[in-house]
Amino acid sequence: MTLAALQEIRDEEAAHFAMLSDAIEKLGGDPTTQTPWADATGVQSMGLFQVMSDPRTTVAQALQTLLSAELIDVASWELLIQLIEGFGQDELAERFAAALAAENRHEATVRGWLATALEESAHLGGSE
């Protein structure tokens, strides 16, 4: 796990956010609208944020939390692609497929980091 790899994931996540905002606007929507789905997602995200910001959280626990977020991202992109293809938005579906590929890379990367952290903890007799 390197700072550069973490920054790359962060930058790709920011690019995905910008792409989604742009897509919503191009489809005539307002990306700042607080819908019931957005409310629920915000509440769900608070749990992840609380774990990540707790000073007692270990590196392995933080990685497990990050892995949870990446798994949610993968499932969400898969569903979004299916939805947008149903509306005949092939160009958007292609862009979203590229984001899904990035999310799959993120998930695999974080899973590897977590496995390494857990192995190191086991060898050191840690309680992670």
Determine, yes or no, domain membership for 122. yes
The band of 128, judged by pLDDT with boundaries at 50, 70 and 90, is low
Both tokens of residue 103?
A: 């999310």
Determine, yes or no, domain membership for 46. no
Residue 95: the pLDDT is 97
CB neighbours of 80 closer than 8 A, spacing ≥ 6?
A: 96
Nearest by Cα to 82 from 96, 70, 68? 96
pLDDT at 126 over 70: no
Total count of domains within the chain: 1
* Average pLDDT of the residues in 22-51: 94
pLDDT at 127 over 70: no
Determine, yes or no, domain membership for 41. no
DSSP for 11-55, written as a single string? HHHHHHHHHHHHHHHHTT--TT---HHHHHHHHHHHHHHHHHH-T
Determine, yes or no, domain membership for 76. yes
pLDDT in tens, 40-71: 999 999 999 999 999 999 999 999 999 999 99
Determine, yes or no, domain membership for 39. no
Phi (first) and psi of residue 78, to 5 degrees: -60, -45
Spatial distance between the Cα atoms of 5 and 54, rounded to a whole number of angstroms: 23
Determine, yes or no, domain membership for 43. no
Determine, yes or no, domain membership for 115. yes
Global pTM reads: 0.87
Domain that holds residue 70: 1-12+57-128
